[in-house]
Amino acid sequence: MDSTVVSFHEVTPEIVQITMEDRIHKNTFSKSLIDGLTQAFQRIEDHPHYKCVILTGYDSYFASGGTQTGLLSIFEGKEQFTDTNIYRMSLDCKIPVISAMQGHAIGGGFAMALFADFVIFSRESIYTTNFMKYGFTPGMGATMILPKKLGFSLAEEMLINAANYRGAELEKRGLPFPVVPRAEVMGRALELAHQIAEKPRFSLITLKEHLVRSIREELAMVTEQELLMHEKTFHRPEVKERIHDLFGK
């Protein structure tokens, strides 16, 4: 690993911890973060003994979605969110992945977290799918993975309203995932990782492949539909204005 913003740590010979730590960009999807995650997951793909991955962030940030520059490039038609697969790396990983969301998860960063096999929330952190805040429809598979993981009613509210939700509030709304104090997120993730690592690697890979096959197949169709919605919604003048005026607020 030659990344300065993504660290790769072998907790045990069977458990890997990937930490996103782009402090300059607050874990938005900068090129350095994307490159670092790509390297990390490729290293996992090439290793014959790993059984579980913990994906986490730094301090109060897990992942913050697209950069302002990246959003403006999509507005200008220079990029599409499918140009990289950062949002689905956990889904494509052949071994189980735990999203240890010790910090805020915003937009595509929240979608990315939900594509993991296990998700742990912190009570203090903010979780939001804020695409519509900027005036464009959601991407990165969010329109599929939120309903699947959170239930349709809560997902529809989060996607349309684009509001901020603390983990504690989502817990009261019946979130089907552990919600613990920020200081306990990594401890819970490590406990779970050790439990997973007790199982045979071949069986873990086989079962995950079976469980997520339909999600992987459906995602291709959903992202195509999201791109079509982007063609209709992303290139309007008010979107550019909102990206300039509201980004980071």
Q: If we measure between CA atoms, which residue out of 108, 140, 101 comes closest to residue 124?
A: 101
> Which stretches of 29-107 are DSSP H helices?
31-46, 68-75, 89-92
DSSP 65-86: -S-HHHHHHHHTTS--GGGS-G
Integer Cα distance of 245 and 249 in angstroms? 8
- Residue 49 known to be catalytic: no
* Alpha-carbon radius of gyration of the chain: 17
Q: Determine the Cα–Cα distance for residues 121 and 185; give it in Å rounded to an integer.
A: 7
Q: Looking at 9, 49, 230, 244, which residue is catalytic? A: 230
Catalytic residues: 230
